[in-house]
Each structure stands twice: as structure tokens, then as C-alpha cells.
Amino acid sequence: MSGAKVWALHLAVLVALFAAQYLLPPYHATNLARVLVLALFAMGYNLAFGYTGLLSLGHALFFAGGMFAAGLPAYHFGFSAGPALILSLLGGGVLAGAVGLFALRTAGVSFMIVTLMFAQAGYLTLIYFNAWTGGDQGFAVPASGRSLFGFALSSDGPRFAVAWGLFALGFLVCLALVRSRFGRVMVAMRENEERSRLLGYNPFVVKLIVLVISGLYAGLAGGAWALLFGYAGASFATIQYSILPMLYVLLGGAGTVAGPVLGAALMFWLIELASGLTSAWLFLVGAALVVLVLFAPKGILGWVREKVWRGLP
Amino acid sequence: MSFGPFLLLALMEGLVTAAVLALAASGLSLVFGVMRVVNVAHGEFYMLGAVIAWFVTTLVPGPAWAGFLVALAVAPVAVGALAAAADRLVLRRLDYDPEATIVATIGLLYMIQQAALSFYGPDARPVAAPFDWRLQLPWFGYSGYKLFVVLAAAVVLLALWLFMTRSKVGLVMRATQVDRDVAQAFGIDVDLVYMAVFGIGAALAAVAAVLIVPIQQAHYLMGHDPLLLSFIVVIIGGLGSLRGTVVAALVIGLSDGVISMFFSPTLAKILATLLVALVLVFRPQGLFGVRDR
């Protein structure tokens, strides 16, 4: 499939998402901003899991790392949103690199448990230093930290614009990355690590780079969440926030560029819809995981790629 | 109280933790050993055991010990049956693919937890101890029931060990663990073995929970800590090794008792989880295990 067509399609997705803020009622426009930030997180997860085959259970650590790397300086030292977002990138990336140096010596089930344990240690560390982090209670990010180039991120327009902008950046970088030479090496790691080693690639280095990129996405999403929605808390470091991006990716389609945002949007509004009917939305998350892994392990766009358009990136 | 008795109290508390942990972790270890499945829903089977114990003890009339004994019989069977059904309906259809089964058991975790919240509620509810005899030491009195917990756990573990090493069924299970395909070629119904092992693993967690519930209360989130501690114990003890699991449970339980008596429990947990991650990275066979054949 030609490159121009692929780019045009993905740009059209971005335009449609931007236009949606004017078409949706304000309440759902704010929800869409949430979905876009969660989708940014899930896209990072997808680079590791969907393209490279790294099934991590510790991405909440990178998300929370970015959240507190942005939130703590804004809260304690009055940083504004620009520097705070850059710090959140660093926070996610550095944590992912540090975890990767150890965890990538293992594979498969061990990798899952090691990343889970590191994330749990991170969560407990946030609780332990509750004098600084607010522990389980968390803290509200002050208005001074929620301003970017003079715009208040607490108002609807700028908030959506920043959420969309960060998402669009991540979306286009992801598309460029997976269509590059390096993107094909990533898939080679997933499909057959030994063979790619034979071809002269170093799996450890490739996977570490991918995990750091994935951590940058997660960190930026965490920082954006703290600044756009004004709250940071240790609960974002719990296992649940490692499971959610996995669920979004599985639903939308692992190893597709647009899968994470599709999965995040569907799951978000499915939960929203369900919580109007019943308080048992967690049951829905569990059931969705079981059903997906049983009957549709490739997700929606994975099915589209298989049946409709083989060139879907 | 001077330091000596204080340490003794810490060790006794640690021993109770260790006993319950050894039971719960041996279930996780059995499932991993035979089926190579990491069961993330194990903590929820534990929680279900406690919740069922609460329901049973409120329904059974008469003295506390009668309800407790019925709970001790009913809870493991009910939880084991549920787990066997989950194995049949979900895990077998995934062909026990390691990563897919983890995702599926995470799904089970959320479903069971939510079901408990919906039908049992958010409150922590107490279960009366079957007897309240106290052991009077020169420095402090100690609950006789806690000593009973240690004893009962030891009996169950001994029975499990005898079952695995001396009985025909145990032999079949160990044969399946060593080589699934060869076992099948010798006419062993591997599907049935897997279903039984998954059920027994969950039942062990339920037994542990029934024993602990008169000391701690039954709550729908109570599965979280035992799951994490069981992971720690199973990994330190060597994945799939029953003896290593028991030794590691003693080490973790006793040190947890002592450390949380004298230091911050959160700090102890941070160090334990980091230690476990590093053990898995640098010594995947566990601290006490031997390298796989």
C-alpha cells in the first residue's frame, strides 16, 4: 500500500478527532481529552507489546513516574506546564531505561513478573514518601502549574488542544517509527528473536530502545494527565494502570497504529455507559479481557488487517 | 516488655503469617509447577475462601466451632470447583499459552473481585474464632487459636506432600509435570489432571483464608497482599518446588513479623519486592532451587 495513502488516512483520523470537540457536547469533549491522553499511554504500550512482543505489567510505573515528575515540581516549586511536561518525558524514559536494564535480561512470564514487581516497588515508594507525594490521597496540581504559554489548561479549549496536540505528536511519531527500518527490526524481535540475532541485530539493545521510547510515551501521558486534569496520586501507579493500556491495545488491535486510540475510546465509553447502569464496571473490564483473549486476540484493527486491508500499519 | 519477649512475640506473629503464606503459596507453586500457568487470580480465590467462610458461619446455627468446621469443608470445595470450571472454560481453550493465561487470569481477578463487591459488599466482616483459649506466657498472653492455625497449616502441608509423593494421583500429577506429552502417550488424561491441579491450587488458597479469617476480617480486597507475598515466596523458593516454597514462606513470614515489628512495614515491602525482581533476573531458579534439567 502506498505511503501517501497511509499518511493521508492517519492524518484524516487526527483531523476527525480534532473536529470531534466541536461536535460532541462539552462533557464528552472533556472525556475525549481524557481518552486521547490514555491513548497516548496505550500507544507507548503498543510499541513495546504490539510491535516488539514485550508484554509488560509495569507500565503504570512509567505513567506515574511522568505524572509525579511533572506534578511534584509544579506543586512544590511552582514549575509551569512547559518544563513540567519535559520533566515528565524524562521521568518516564529514565524509569523505563532503568527497569529495562534489569527486566530485559528475562523474557516471557519472568519479564511480566519482574516488571510487575518493579511497578509495585514504585507504588510503595510513592506511599512511603507520602509527606512529599500525598500517598494514596494524592494532591491537586496548583493553577500556576497548569498554564502553558499563558493559556490555562483547566479551561476546555486549551485542555483539549494540548491533549490533541500531544496525542497527534505521538501518533505521527509512532507511524513514522513503525514504517522505518527500525520498526521492521522491532517486529523481527517479536516474531523471531534468535533469527534477528543471527542477522546481526542485538536484541537487548533494540528492546531497551523500544522500552525507553515506550516509557517516554507513558511518562508524557502521565504528566499530561496531572496537568490537564489537575490531580496526581499514587493510585495511578497500581497494577490497574498497567492493565488498562493492555486492554485498550488488545481491544483496538495490537501492532496497529490506530488500534490503541480506538480501543481506548471504545473501552472508555463502554465503561461510561455501563457505570450509568451498574456500579460493577470492573466486572466489564475483567470480562472484556477474558473474551478478547479467548475469541479475538488480534483485536478490531488486527481483524481488519487480516480480512480487509493487509497493508494497514 | 524487654527485648527478648518482644522478639518472641514478633517471631510468633511471623510464624502465623508464614503458616498461612506457605499454604496459599503452595497452591500457586503447584499450579505453576504442573501447568506452567501463573495464576494472577490466586489472591481472589483466597478472598473467596474468606468470604464463603463468613457466609457459612452466619448460616450455620450452634456454637462457633461448628460453623467454622463446616466452612473449613465447604469453602475449599466451592472455590476449587469454581477454579476447575475456570480452567475448563477459559484456560484450556487458550491451550495454556503462558502470556494469554496471565491476561485471562487478570480478567478473572477483576470479575471475582467485582462479584464479591456486588454480592458481599465493601465492609470488612469478622468471623468468630472456633474457640478462645489463651496461652499464658510469663510476659504476655497469646491467642491459642493462632497456634492452632500454625498446627493446622502444617498438617495440611504434610498431607499435600504425602499426596504428591505417595499416592497414585500425585504420581500422575508429577508425571504430567515432568513431561506432558509422554504422560499423555502413557494414557494419562492430561486435561483432567490440569483441571484437578488448578482446583486443588485454588482450594489450598481457600483453606489458608478460612484459617486466617478469625484473625483478620473478610474483605473483598484482601486477596491483594497474599497474592503478592505468594509470588514472592514462590519465586524465592524456586518456581514449582514445594519444599522451596515452604522454606521461603518461613523465611519471608518470620522476617516480615520481625521487620514490621521494629521497622516500617512499607519499607520492608519495598525491599522485598525489589529483592524478588532481582532474584528473578539474576537467579531465576530461586534462592533455594536448582537449575532446571
Q: What is the pLDDT of residues A259-268, one digit of tens each?
A: 999 999 998 8
Q: Are the CB atoms for A67 and A224 separated by under 8 Å? A: no
Do the domain assignments include residue B245?
A: no
Taking 50 as the threshold, does the pLDDT of residue A100 lie above it?
Answer: yes
Q: Tell me the pLDDT band of B289, cut-offs 50, 70 and 90.
A: low
- CA–CA gap between residue A294 and residue B46 (Å, rounded): 25
- Cβ–Cβ of A109/B38 closer than 8 Å? yes
Better pLDDT: A51 or B234? A51
C-alpha cell at B41: 487470580
Judging contacts by C-beta atoms under 8 Å, the chain B residues touching residue A108 are 98-99
- CA–CA gap between residue A26 and residue A159 (Å, rounded): 12
Taking 70 as the threshold, does the pLDDT of residue B1 lie above it?
Answer: no
Judging contacts by C-beta atoms under 8 Å, the chain A residues touching residue B278 are 102
Angle among Cα B149, B234, B26 to the nearest 5 degrees reads 40
Provide the domain count of chain B: 1
Better pLDDT: A307 or B112? B112
Strands A147-148 and A151-152 turn out to be antiparallel
Quick one: CA dihedral A110, A113, A119, A121, positive or negative?
negative
Taking 70 as the threshold, does the pLDDT of residue B5 lie above it?
Answer: yes
pLDDT of residue A147: 75
Residue B165's Cβ-count burial label (10 Å; 0-12, 13-18, 19+) is exposed
- Cβ–Cβ of A282/B266 closer than 8 Å? no
pLDDT of residue A101: 95
- Within chain A, where are the H helices? 3-23, 26-46, 59-76, 81-103, 108-128, 130-133, 156-178, 181-191, 193-198, 203-229, 240-252, 259-277, 281-295, 299-307
What mean pLDDT comes out for the span A29-37?
A: 92
- CA–CA gap between residue B109 and residue B226 (Å, rounded): 13
Q: Are the CB atoms for B235 and B33 separated by under 8 Å? A: no
Q: Are the CB atoms for B25 and B236 separated by under 8 Å? A: no
Better pLDDT: A296 or B21? B21
- Cβ–Cβ of B106/A105 closer than 8 Å? no
pLDDT of residue B285: 73
Taking 70 as the threshold, does the pLDDT of residue A149 lie above it?
Answer: yes
- Within chain B, where are the H helices? 3-35, 42-59, 64-86, 98-120, 144-166, 168-178, 180-185, 190-212, 224-237, 242-262, 265-282
Q: Are the CB atoms for B274 and B35 separated by under 8 Å? A: no
Residue A250's closest chain B neighbor by CA?
B103
pLDDT in tens, A80-98: 888 899 999 999 999 999 9
Judging contacts by C-beta atoms under 8 Å, the chain A residues touching residue B88 are none
Judging contacts by C-beta atoms under 8 Å, the chain B residues touching residue A249 are none
DSSP letters for A8-28 = HHHHHHHHHHHHHHHHS-HHH
pLDDT of residue A74: 87
Domain range for residue B109? 23-222
pLDDT of residue B244: 86
**HSE of B171, CA atoms in CB hemisphere, 13 A:** 4
Residue B283's closest chain A neighbor by CA?
A106
Q: Which of B273, B278, B283, B292 is the best substitution to test chain A (most A C-beta atoms within 10 A)?
A: B273
- CA–CA gap between residue B202 and residue B194 (Å, rounded): 12
Better pLDDT: B187 or A167? A167
Query: Within a 10 A sphere around the Cβ of A273, how many other Cβ atoms?
Result: 11
Q: Residue with C-alpha cell 511536561?
A: A85
Q: How far is A116 from chain B (nearest CA, A)?
A: 9
Predicted model pTM: 0.86
Residue B272's closest chain A neighbor by CA?
A121
- Cβ–Cβ of A124/B109 closer than 8 Å? no
Can you give the C-alpha Rg of chain A in angstroms?
Answer: 19
Residue A311's Cβ-count burial label (10 Å; 0-12, 13-18, 19+) is exposed
- CA–CA gap between residue A38 and residue A222 (Å, rounded): 9
- Cβ–Cβ of A286/B111 closer than 8 Å? yes
- CA–CA gap between residue B144 and residue B1 (Å, rounded): 20
Q: Tell me the pLDDT band of B287, cut-offs 50, 70 and 90.
A: low
pLDDT in tens, B98-110: 878 888 998 999 9
What mean pLDDT comes out for the span B122-149?
A: 84
Mean pLDDT for chain A? 89
Do the domain assignments include residue B202?
A: yes
Do the domain assignments include residue B264?
A: no
